Amino acid sequence: MNRPKLIAGNWKMNGSLAANEALLSALRAGLPQGAACAVAVAVPAPYLAQVQTLVSGSPIALGAQDVSQHDGGAYTGEVSAAMLRDFGARYVLVGHSERRQYHGESDADVAAKAQKALAAGITPIVCVGETLAEREAGETEHVVRRQLAAVIHANGHCISEIVVAYEPVWAIGTGRTATPEQAQQVHAVLRAQLAAATTHAARVPILYGGSMNAANAAELLAQPDIDGGLVGGASLKAQDFLQIIAAASAAQGDAATVSGVN
Ligand code: PEP
């Protein structure tokens, strides 16, 4: 199946009104006409309104970096799915390793967040991935399957509406990337797990994240089960992000040719 590739930037806790404007204007100017891949940016919550305006009329979709598992009320500091929807968010990251690590988010929390996003019509980008210690202990498959299983269990027939991001924790922000083969191996495991849960598993995009950059994107995106990238550091530099988008668009074109779609 020729799944559309998706390149999503995770700005993390970076940006300012001026920097966001400069970055998005460079992205808008540099995006190829009719780019074959989908593009999104997941921005800090205070900038949702600004970025909603800045991406309006462009192919860049708006994303958030987290969502509450509650609908509203006495949850100081949290942002609900309905609030994200008010600002036109199309995607929201759930279960990013930095949320799991620094905010103690459990698999059950992540599953509940995905459920709230789906109920609001927002696509959750569900992040899974093992730590270095877990990889070295041979637990990679067990860990990512456990993380995804919680989301599958809580979301039943909606599961084909999610995006999955495989992000080995040891590759995030470290400059150390999984090899295309290492990533593909885990993506294939995740695809099989989805296939056991839904007949529509083939249409679920599985992104790779972890030090993806302009130099390594093409090789990663050429793998059969790598459907795009969740990009941290490189999404803050317009030229780097545009080169990754170009690599995804080229890979998309190649996949279409191979499968006879175009
Ligand atoms: C991320 O934060 O999701 C990420 C993949 O970061 P980086 O690309 O900087 O490793």
Secondary structure (DSSP) of 120-142: TT-EEEEEE---HHHHHTT-HHH
Quote the pLDDT of residue 12.
98
Q: Which residue has the higher pLDDT, 107 or 262?
A: 107
Ligand 1 pocket, mutate which of 231, 236, 241 (most atoms under 8 A from CB): 231
pLDDT > 50? residue 173: yes
- For residues 29-42, average pLDDT: 88
CATH of residue 132: 3.20.20.70
The model carries a pTM of 0.95
Please indicate, yes or no, if residue 25 is contained in any of the structural domains.
no
How far is 180 from 156, CA to CA, in rounded Å?
Answer: 30
Is residue 2 helix, strand or coil? Answer: coil
Could you give the CA distance from residue 96 to residue 188 in angstroms, rounded to a whole number?
A: 20
Q: Which of 6, 12, 163, 213 to mutate to test the pocket of ligand 1 (most atoms within 8 A of CB)?
A: 12
Residue 111 domain-assigned? yes
Q: Report yes or no on 27 lying in a domain.
A: no
Q: Is 240 in the pocket of ligand 1 (CB under 6 A)?
A: no
Q: Is there an atom of ligand 1 within 6 Å of 93 CB?
A: no
Quick check: 258 pLDDT over 50? no
Q: How open is the CA angle 61-101-129, to the nearest 5 degrees?
A: 65
Is 20 contained in some domain? no
Q: Does ligand 1 come within 6 angstroms of the Cβ of 216? A: no
Q: What is the pLDDT of residue 103?
A: 97
C-alpha angle 257-206-21 in degrees, rounded to nearest 5:
90
- Local confidence band at 160 (pLDDT 50, 70, 90 cut-offs): very high
Q: For residue 236, tell me if it sits in a domain.
A: yes
Burial of 212 (0-12, 13-18, 19+ CB in 10 A): buried
98 CB-near residues (< 8 Å, 6+ apart): 12, 172
Asked which of 22-31, 73-82, 252-261 is least confident by mean pLDDT, the reply is 252-261
pLDDT bin (cut points 50, 70, 90) of residue 1 is: low
173-190 per-residue burial string, b: 16 or more CB within 10 A, e: under 16: eeeebbebebbbebbebb
Residue 33 confidence (pLDDT): 76
Give pLDDT, residue 260.
Answer: 37
Q: What pLDDT digit, counting tens, does each position of 131-153 carry?
A: 999 999 999 999 999 999 999 99
The finding on whether 231 has its CB within 6 A of some atom of ligand 1 is yes
Nearest to 212 by CA among 197, 228, 195, 193: 228
Cα-based distances in Å from 207 to 3, 21, 85, 133: 11, 26, 23, 22
Q: Does pLDDT of 255 surpass 60?
A: no
Q: Would you name the residues annotated as active-site residues? A: 96, 167
Looking at ligand 1, which residue's alpha carbon is closest to its atom 2? 232
| Atom 1 of ligand 1, nearest CA residue | 232
pLDDT for residue 51: 98
In a domain, 19, yes or no: no
Mean pLDDT of 147-175: 94
C-alpha–C-alpha distance, residues 65 and 44, integer Å: 7
State the Cα–Cα distance between residues 167 and 207, nearest whole angstrom: 8
Q: Helices in the chain by DSSP H: which ranges?
A: 17-30, 48-55, 81-86, 97-103, 107-119, 132-136, 140-155, 180-197, 217-221, 238-259
Bridge partners (DSSP) listed for residue 61: 40
Question: Are 260 and 234 in contact, with CB atoms under 8 Å apart?
Answer: no
Using left for φ > 0, alpha for ψ between -120 and 50, and beta otherwise, residue 196 falls in: alpha
Give the structural domain span for 235: 6-14+37-259
pLDDT at residue 17 is higher than 90: yes
pLDDT at 3: 82
The residue assigned the tokens 């990337």 is 177
Number of domains in the chain: 1
**What is the mean predicted confidence (pLDDT) over 23-48?**
93
Average pLDDT over residues 236-252: 95
Q: Would you say the CB of residue 130 lies under 6 angstroms from ligand 1?
A: no
In this structure, is residue 22 part of a structural domain? no
Split at pLDDT 50, 70, 90, the class of 85 is very high
Question: How large a percentage of the chain has pLDDT more than 90?
Answer: 90
